[in-house]
Amino acid sequence: MMGWGRRSGVDEREERLAHIRLEADRLVEEGVEEREALRQARARFGRDETLEATTTRWGLTAFEFLERDVRHAVRRLAAAPLTTATILASLTIGIGVNTAIFSLADQALVRPMPVPNPDGVVQLSWEGQWIGEGRGWGKLLPHPLFTALAEQTSVFASLAARSPGEVTLITPAGPERNTMSLVTGSFFEVMGIRPHLGRLIDERDDQILGGHPVAVLSHSFWRTRYDADPNVVGRELRVNGEPLTIIGVAPEGFHGTDWSRMPAAWTSMMMNDLVHAWGDLDQPRVRFQHLFGRLADGVSRDEAQASLAPWFERYRRIDMEHPSWPADREEAEVAAYLDATLAVLPGRTGDAERTHDLTEPLLILSAATALLLLLACLNVANLTLARAVTRNRDTAVRTALGASRVRIVVERLVESGLLAVIGCGFGIVLAPLVSAWILRYFEVGGDGMALHAGIDGRMLGVAVGTALVATVLSGVGPAWFAASTPPMGALRTQKAGAGIRIRRALVVGQVALALVLLVGAGLFGSTLSTLRGQGPGFATDQLITFELHPGNDGFSVEESKGILEEVRSATARIPGVEHVGLSWQPMLRGSGWGNNMLVGNDERTVTDTYLPMNAVTPGFFDALDVDVLRGRGFDSRDRAEPGEWRWDVAIVSQSFVDRFLGGEEPLGLRIDFARDLDVQPRMEIVGVVEDYAEQRLRDPDPQVYFPFDAHARTGGAYYLRASAPLAAVTDEIRRRVSDVSPALTVSELRTLDEEIDRLLVFERMLSAIGGAFATFGIGLAMIGIYGVLSFMVQARRREVGIRMALGAPRASASRLVVGDALRLTLWGFAMALPTIWLLGRWIESWLYGVSATEPTTLLSAVAIVLAVCVGASVGPATRMARTPPTEAFRAD
Amino acid sequence: MTTQDEGPDRVELLQGTLDVLILRTLTGGRQHGQGIARAIERNSGDEFLIDHGSLYPALKRLEKRKWIEAEWGVSANNRRARFYELTRAGRAQVEVETDRWHRLAAAMGRVLGTEPTGG
């Protein structure tokens, strides 16, 4: 007998080893292979300090214990498939959508250009008053400033200018419109990249105006249009009808300074006239270049900007002596011009044309996604808590059987870790699909954006990060609960205790978030349907448009004019085509030609806003089916002789008359561009047309039209109204244009409905994604409410049984449950309202025809959430009502 | 496995649950550790998945209270093993422990009977 005194460690260990051998023997009898039997027997024993030393002998590692824990966890999770599936779905969607959106936002807004040491790149920006014209987008500077700066300062190690343009390219794959970027000789040096093939543009190609017909292809353009031909160097690339020699191919992945508009090729800045129609590179009144550089060693951005200040001062003084300087500028404007600064900004992300219009939608999506993730986490927390409440009893029993707290904590960690890992894995699978879905909206333009839906390191990082955030967020509630409930509490109490209070709070949060998402979706959906319903002010369903730029296909100005006319009559003869009109600028692109106008009435008023304008042919208004309300449309009277530019007639829209003429007779009144108040206005108003949207679908601005044929135009956009099926007409258009000349390139050929889809790309995206988020949010909130109510019904069975036994009607029991659901929902509303108000102000500029605080949207959202919440309570309420009075006598 | 000797009354009670299972098993005659563990698992219909290692602190505790005693012997398949046997005090204790267990089981049964459906 050895009950007294301490037994030796050796003896204790001996006993345990014997135990394992006996267990192994048993397993061998059951048919397990001996080594495996030993291993399993050892694993059954669990962690045991007295055995640690021998563990290796049995070939068991910490990993194998983990494996056993994981197997247990899988078994437990599989035992509640519905809960597990819901948790996994929540995590998957939360993580997947977050990863997708943040990955896109990262690529668009944060990620640096794919060049060596992107942090060393700076961009120059003219901050403040500019006097002159601007062509293009972003931080524009005039070419003379670049040449002066490149010669006269030692601030920069290298400095380069670039300017993108839209050109017609002819490659072995056929003719196409694409972007070509003009660059100075130092551009690729600033970028710091090496050619994939041949050489890049350098100073040798930056000497003589018009004298460097060279091109460097982008890697993807070379791959897709030249089939990655290794002998491409020396071949010809036709740009706007002129032959250029291909001298090299840029490295893979390099897209220049603008990820949103990747150039197909680069050429020398000296070829400006070939790419841009506005001529004269040395004109200081036109700014169209982006300037990027790298600073000299040891110079910081602040130092660079400070030392450039005196130079910039001199530059502007000299500029004011230039013949192009407008003499009629007011003093205040000139003072503001002299107040401007030349800022040296970080250039690591480049200057992307679409950063501006993508930033807000991406931020809105990011915010919505964060809400969605939070909602998913609340749901996971809620479900985990429900599981924990059940598990707590199980835990108590297991503690009773000797399992240590460490053991149980480890098991729970393994379980939630397992869920997080699986959710994260599914999320990573889902993320590229979501990205691809969103990119489908962005890429309607097909203008070569460098955004990818694929999985990369940063995306994985985001996914894992999101999973961690989700695990922490959804773990807080259960952990709080676990900490606040003693193990035996679960065995003792019939009340739900702290768990239910937390779960109720979580459900309130879920309802609030679901409501916010739903209101958001409602606002975006209503905006989209209002814009669609309103349309541009004319019927779009039987309209086709396409662009033709003979000037870019190698034809002269005079030839172009004839071709445009010829195509007009050729397409008008297509069976089923009723009217054909042509405008200089394509309509409904969100931007275009515009100006302030001077109205030559007695007061000489200047319109206070930018007015969209266009030059259109006779037949244009007929094609749109826009009525001429007064006076006449354009006709053959408004035609200029070759070489002549006539500015003598104009047509205005009805709202122009309403807004600027104050009841005065419009016909016969003269107007002009608001440039100089002392000049006699030249254009006589000959007609007034109905209002319609020229550039954007929101409230049509007052508009002005000039005769297309009064000027030498080298291209334009056609509009055809057809009674025949549009697909047939589309095919016929290509044939007829090619009949006129096979050298012509038809581009942007599509229906007006497609044009509007493209115009409303962000509205459509926000509406679709908002709707998907809201649906998911509502679903989660419903699950949350259902779970909590079901739990309440279980917990209150006895209480209800007693009430029933005392004669309470069944309906009162149901009321109890539904009332509870309503209470939770109302708390959720109360929490949601301030959020909706705040977010509503933020997204206001994206809304149209609704406001965030408008009762209709809010009330319908509230009604939907309320209906869903009450709906979720029907099941539990029915169960509650069926509580037999005998419940009162059960238990205790 | 660690034990919780610092425990207040209810922890004692919990540990007593494993204790009673051991004592109960030993009413059938002397048995070694592995045999006890196996018997508990089998009799619970394999519901209780326990670390065999956790058995030993309990056995040690019972030994200390002189409810069981142990000595080395040889198992049915000729392995050396340490066999446990109930003492007279132990036999009396089985009655006390069984009663406590029934009360606990009844309480647990009532609680577990109201299983909430996971949300």
Same domain as A433, residue A336 = no
A340 lies in the same domain as A203: yes
Please indicate if any CB of chain A lies within 8 Å of the CB of B103.
no
Q: pLDDT digit string (tens) for A154-175? A: 789 999 999 998 888 888 988 8
A1 touches chain B (CB under 8 A): yes
Mean pLDDT of the A556-564 span: 89
Is the Cβ of B111 closer than 8 Å to some Cβ of chain A? yes
Cβ neighbours for A348, distance < 8 A, ≥ 6 positions apart: A112, A113, A118, A119, A121
Based on the structure, what is the number of domains in chain A?
5
Q: Residue A1: its chain B contacts at CB < 8 A? A: 69-71
DSSP codes joined into one string, A385-442 = HHHHHHHHHHHHHHHHTT--HHHHHHHHHHHHHHHHHHHHHHHHHHHHHHHHHHHHHH
Do residues A621 and A741 share a domain? Answer: yes
Rg (CA), chain B: 16
Please tell me the distance from the alpha carbon of residue A378 to that of residue A778, in angstroms, as a whole number. Answer: 13
pLDDT of residue A486: 52
Instruction: Note whether A785 and A866 are same-domain residues.
Output: yes
**DSSP string covering A249-276, please?**
EPPTT--TT-TTS--SEEEEGGGHHHH-
* 8 Å CB contact of A45 and B52: yes
Those residues whose C-beta lies under 8 Å from the C-beta of residue A569, and which sit 6 or more positions away, are none
Which helix (H) or strand (E) segment is A171 a member of? strand A156-171
Model pLDDT for residues A46-74, shown as the tens digit of each residue: 666 555 544 444 445 556 667 777 877 88
Q: Check: CB of residue A545 under 8 Å from CB of residue A586.
A: yes
pLDDT for the residue numbered A402: 55
Residue A505 covered by a domain: yes
- Measured between beta carbons, the chain B residues lying within 8 angstroms of A16 are 33, 53, 56
Nearest CA in chain A to B10: A488
Highest mean pLDDT: which of A8-17, A432-441, A686-695? A686-695
Distance in angstroms (rounded) separating the CA atoms of residues A576 and A885: 79
Q: Mark yes or no for CB contact B119/A492 under 8 Å.
A: no
**Shortest CA gap B80–chain A (Å):** 7
Which residues from A are below 8 Å from B33, CB to CB? Answer: 15-16, 18-19
Judge: B52–A19 Cβ closer than 8 Å, yes or no.
yes
Greater model confidence, A399 or A363: A363
Asked whether residue A399 falls in the same domain as residue A316, the answer is no
Q: Looking at beta carbons, which residues of chain B come within 8 Å of A784?
A: 119
> Which DSSP string corresponds to A683-700?
EEEEEEE----SS-SSSP
**pLDDT given for residue A201 in this prediction:** 95
Q: Which residue of B has its CA nearest to A493?
A: B111
The tokens 């809010």 sit on which residue? Answer: A858
Give the tokens for residue A573.
């003869």
Residues A489 and A399 in one domain: yes
For residue A481, give the nearest of A406, A392, A407, A416 by alpha carbon.
Answer: A392
Under an 8 A CB cutoff, do A794 and B115 touch? yes
- A440 with A450, same domain: the answer is yes
pLDDT at A653 over 90: yes
Contact by Cβ (8 Å): A419, A88: yes
Query: Between A18, A51, A406, which is nearest B82 by CB?
Result: A18
Nearest CA-CA partner of A490 in A388, A558, A584: A388
Q: How does pLDDT run across A232-282, given as a tens digit for each residue?
A: 999 999 998 889 999 999 999 898 888 888 899 999 999 998 888 766 788
Is A79 in CB contact (< 8 Å) with chain B?
A: no
- The string of pLDDT tens digits covering residues B21-79 is 888 888 888 888 888 888 887 777 666 666 677 788 888 888 888 889 988 888 887 78
Nearest-angstrom CA–CA distance, B52 and B37:
6
Instruction: Identify all chain B residues contacting A795, using CB atoms and an 8 Å cutoff.
Output: 114, 116
pLDDT band of residue A462 (cuts 50, 70, 90) is confident
A491 touches chain B (CB under 8 A): yes
Q: Are residues A575 and A678 in the same domain?
A: yes
Q: What is the pLDDT of residue B5?
A: 36
The answer to whether domain B9-109 has CATH 1.10.10.10 is: yes
Instruction: Answer whether A5 touches B (CB < 8 Å).
Output: no
Residues A83 and A170 in one domain: no
How many whole angstroms separate alpha carbon A482 and alpha carbon A403?
A: 17
Q: Is residue A743 part of a domain?
A: yes
- A129 and A56 both lie in a single domain: no
- How many Å lie between the alpha carbon of A393 and the closest alpha carbon of chain B? 7
- Classify strands A704-707 and A611-616 as parallel, antiparallel or unpaired: parallel
Identify the closest residue of chain A to B80 by CA–CA distance.
Answer: A18
Enclosing domain of residue A43: 1-60
What pLDDT, in 10s, does the model give residues A738-768?
Answer: 999 988 888 889 999 988 988 888 888 889 9
- Average pLDDT over chain A reads 84
Locate the domains of chain B by residue range. Answer: 9-109
Q: Are residues A196 and A157 in the same domain?
A: yes
Q: Which residues 33-52 of B have a C-beta within 8 angstroms of A?
A: 33-35, 37-38, 48-52
Q: Please indicate, yes or no, whether residues A100 and A55 belong to a single structural domain of this protein.
A: no
**Domain-located, residue A351:** no
From A60, A79, A94, give the residue that closes a domain. Answer: A60
pLDDT at B119: 34
Whether B1 sits inside 8 A of A46 (CB atoms) is yes
